[in-house]
Each structure stands twice: as C-alpha cells, then as structure tokens.
Amino acid sequence: RWGAAVLKVLKIIAARNEVQKILYTNIRIRDTDNLEVKRQKRAIQTSVSRYVHSKRRCVEMLIQNNFTAEDWYCVLTFQEDKLPPEKVQADAKFQYFLKRLKQAGCSGLRYLKVLEHRHGAGRYHFHVVLAGQGVTQDKLRQAWAGTYGFARVAHLRIASVPRLAGYLCKEAPDAVNKRLYSRSRPPNALQDPTVQRMFVPDHYRLVTPRGCQTVERRPLCENAFGTVESLSYLTPEGRANMFLTI
C-alpha cells in the first residue's frame, strides 16, 4: 500500500484491560552484510524477540485479559505440619482447595497459579489470581486456612498487575518446578490475548488513545539500522476497573 515507505512493523497484543504495542524497523540480515552490520541488525531482532516472548508480559496479559477488580489475588502458605515435601503433594493440596471452594457453592473457577519454593525459607507456597461465581474472601480463606495454613486474600488491583506479574516471575523454572505458571483448563480455561501484526509507514508513531492510560513507554533499541520501541496502556475498561468500588 505504501510501497517503499513501508519500513516498520507494528505488533499489537490486546487484552480486555490492557494493550501492548511494539513498533520496530523491518530489517533483514543478508549474506553480504559484514559482521558489524549483522551484529547491529541482530540487536534489533533480539530486542523484539525478548519483548514478545517475555514470560512477565505473558503472565501480565493473561491476567489483564481474564480478570477484573472484582476477582481475587491470594497468597497461600502452609503451616509447619502441613508443609508438603514435594511439588506433586503441593499441587494435590491446591486441587483439594478448589474442591472445597466448589463444596462451598463456588463455580466456574478460573485461575492463574504460580508455585514458588526457592526464596525466603524455601517453603512451598502459591500465588493465585482467581475468579468464579460465588467466590468471597471468607470462602477463600476458609477453604485454605481452614485446612492447610494461612491465606492472604485481596481484590486484584488492575493498575498493579504489571508489577504483580514481575513479582510472580521472579523464580525461573527449574528441575523441581519446570513450568513458571499453570492455568485453569476447559471448561474454565483462560483466554489468550489477541495478537495482530501489520506493516506501517516509517512515520508511524505509538500514541496512547484518548480515554486510555499509559502504563509504560520504552525505547528498547536504537542503532544505525533501525529502532524498537514499546507502549502499553490501560483500555477504558481497564481504567474503569481501577476505580471499581467493591
């Protein structure tokens, strides 16, 4: 459409509460490029790849696409005599926690769960973002604390989700816990955000739309062969969730 003016690529990752955009120069590494040219072009490509495949951003957008300020963030820990010795026992106790919620009248339970075990005293504990019909703070506390230990429960703060996602990703997968996070499965599966990729002219600029609120704007890479920059913002629905009165 723009002919020679098509020099940049725009990738849009859209969730219900937040949109992330990355704008970068459309480049190719050619066999005839010398080593320095290849190095600078790879720097552009690497910067794009790190942004797009960031685990933190994946967790952030899953939360922003599936949960609101009416939903819950829980930290579930074990008392000493209930502490599981291995991951499989910890996961089994979480499943029993879900069962107790259902027995208490909760349904349609959707969650994103992170099991940690390497920081602090090295004790297994869960961070969980959870939603469902009939879920209350008292039911969450009773389903866990009444059985296994201690439960910190609060409504999810939409404006704090980027920081929360960074916190949830602080432990890299290892031999004990091979997956950074797990999520509810069908029929209560979480929905992935939508992803679009398009060519735009060189003069295109990232702008926060009217009615939205900027979360982060960052220059990610710049050299003689191009630029990479990102922008994330809360949607009008995300902003409304910020001020939702529970």
- Separation of first and last alpha carbons in the chain: 49
SS3 per residue for 156-182: CCHHHHHHHHHHHCCCCCCCCCCCCCE
Give yes or no for a contact between 44 and 225, defined as CB atoms under 8 angstroms apart. Answer: yes
Question: How far is C-alpha 191 from the geometric centre of its chain's CA atoms?
Answer: 12
Coil, helix or strand at residue 220: strand
Looking at residue 125, what is its pLDDT?
92
**Quick one: which of 79, 69, 11, 47 has its CA closest to 225?**
47
What is the chain's pLDDT, residue by residue, as a tens digit (246 residues)? 444 455 899 999 999 999 999 999 999 999 999 999 999 999 999 999 999 999 999 999 999 999 999 999 999 999 989 998 888 999 999 999 999 999 999 999 999 999 988 655 668 899 999 999 999 999 999 999 989 999 999 999 999 999 999 999 887 667 666 678 999 999 999 999 999 999 999 999 999 999 999 999 999 999 999 999 999 999 999 988 776 544
Q: How many residues does the chain have?
A: 246
Looking at residue 2, what is its pLDDT?
45
Q: What is the pTM of this model?
A: 0.90
Q: What is the largest CA-CA distance in the chain?
A: 69
Looking at residue 94, what is its pLDDT?
96
Looking at residue 121, what is its pLDDT?
65
Rg (CA), the chain: 21
